[in-house]
Structure 1
Amino acid sequence: MSKLWQARFFTTVNHLRDLPKTTVPEIAFAGRSNAGKSTSLNILCNQKGLAFASKTPGRTQHINFFSIGGAHVAMHRKDPTNVDEIRAMLVDLPGYGYAEVSGDVKLYWQRLLGDYIQRREQLAALILIMDSRRPFTDLDIQMLEWFAPTGKPIHCILTKADKLTRNESTTALRQAQAKLDSYVDEDGEGFPFTVQLFSALKRIGIEEATAKIIELAGLDQDEAAEQAERIDGDEDGAPQA
């Protein structure tokens, strides 16, 4: 079972001062309001109602945190999470659909989101959700350029790949990788940016995305340690010759 299936709502914040005091790695999910961010989060965590999409694009202004570890899905939602056992956080950032919001709200969103992704030490990586048919909008580019100076990884998930033909999928992936490769630091070195195709409907790319997120969150190290403990336990319990 994927460790992402352990995801459980932890808290929601509307101001940076209210961010969790936890020190575990955070993997943030960002994207336009209609790019399929909530759907992607839900299918990766195997929970239909974990992340909610606003009925009015751009209206959700909160940052939602979901814990990995410290609780399990079968627990009642009101049961407390054991904070000491949390191993990582999945962070659902506000979708940046601006059509229905005022200028003041846009500025507030920019400050909240910009400050979080540029200054949050616990933020280990960004998952950028984009519609495979319309990737790298102006707002997607802004997100990339906000985050790039941190030097941390970005993994781009191109959703709705089922809407593309095989040739279109190949072209979209190649062009997206070329776009990401065009970003270099002041020494001319490329940033740790990766990309994949994804479809919640056809279940394309789920295993690839899961493995990448687990790696970025350092949860693969936990799995390796757990496996080593199991092996040691089996050896200790084995009958002596």
Structure 2
Amino acid sequence: MEVQVVTDVLAKNDAIADTLQRTFAEKGIFVFNLLGSPGAGKTSLLEATLTELSKTYRLAVIEGDLYTDKDADRIERLGVPVLQINTVGGCHLDAAMIEKAVAAMDLDALDMIIIENVGNLVCPAEFAIGEAMKVTVLSVTEGEDKPLKYPLIFKESAAVLLNKVDLLPYIPFDKEKAIADIHMLHPQAAVFEVSCTSKTGLDAWIAWLSERIEAQRKGAACKD
């Protein structure tokens, strides 16, 4: 019976996620689900990303957090529209939450939506929320063992940002092993070595995202 309950929950979630994904594709909006542990640097990376991409594209953010709106306040200061979802203790966002948030957005005025999920390497990996892809942030301060300890999130992610690489000279982190394990789990995953403090690797990450935004827009235009 427990297996059936879990199956029903995921099936309902996936049905909503599929509808959202089709809507975003039709509108030419690129949506990605930003994942990672608490303290991995997701919000700092998001700030750096928005600062650059907002010069060219129309952006919005959906912020997921357990209780506070501190991260949403940081995004709002950049002048980017942001909607806060508090899960009140829930360990992940689900598709129904995103559906409700999206209803308050003018989708015709957007090129990209970034969804910053709740800090967690387990639960968010299991729930599709209408995104085109998942992106995981792995801080070098977390240890190189995380890809093998939490394989699903790395298998599901189209890109992994190895964050805070400016700290590599000061901490025991086997970068080559971490990257090898990521590619063992997902051979096609793009891996970016980045630091928001030193601005390392951000240009390559921004260029990669820009390509995907353009591809989504062109795909929608071809259907018109």
Structure of higher CA gyration radius: 1
More helix, by proportion = 2
Relative to structure 1, is the Cα distance of residues 144 and 88 closer, same or farther in structure 2, using a 3 angstrom cutoff?
Answer: farther
Which of 178, 186, 191 matches 1:176? 178
Which of 143, 152, 157 matches 1:145? 152
Contact 1:132 1:159 in 2 (8 A): yes
Aligned position for 1:7: none
Shift of residue 146 of structure 1? 5.0
Where do 5+ consecutive residues of structure 2 fail to align?
1-11, 55-72, 77-81, 83-87, 99-103, 220-224
Shift of residue 94 of structure 1? 0.6
Which of 210, 218, 233 matches 2:206? 210
Which of 118, 127, 131 matches 1:123? 131
Q: Give the TM-score normalised by structure 1.
A: 0.52
Aligned position for 1:69: none
Which of 220, 227, 231 matches 2:214? 220
Which of 155, 158, 161 matches 2:162? 158
1:137-188 CA-to-partner distances (Å, cap 9, x unmatched) read: 55x546542563x6xx52111111111239x88x51x3232112322xxxxx
Contact 1:27 1:125 in 2 (8 A): yes
Relative to structure 1, is the Cα distance of residues 114 and 133 closer, same or farther in structure 2, using a 3 angstrom cutoff?
Answer: closer
Relative to structure 1, is the Cα distance of residues 37 and 193 closer, same or farther in structure 2, using a 3 angstrom cutoff?
Answer: same
1:116 maps to a residue whose letter is F
Separation in 2, partners of 1:164, 1:124:
31
User: How many residue pairs were aligned?
Assistant: 162
Structure with the bigger RCO (C-alpha within 8 Å, sep 6+) is 2
SS of corresponding position for 2:74: coil
Q: Give the TM-score normalised by structure 2.
A: 0.55
% identical equivalent positions: 14
Separation in 1, partners of 2:44, 2:16:
26
Shift of residue 220 of structure 1? 3.0
Aligned position for 1:23: 24
Shift of residue 224 of structure 1? 8.3
Separation in 1, partners of 2:168, 2:144:
17
Aligned position for 1:133: 141
Shift of residue 126 of structure 1? 1.7
Which of 82, 86, 89 matches 2:110? 86
SS of corresponding position for 2:127: helix
Separation in 2, partners of 1:114, 1:155:
13
Relative to structure 1, is the Cα distance of residues 42 and 146 closer, same or farther in structure 2, using a 3 angstrom cutoff?
Answer: closer
Aligned position for 2:59: none
SS of corresponding position for 1:26: strand
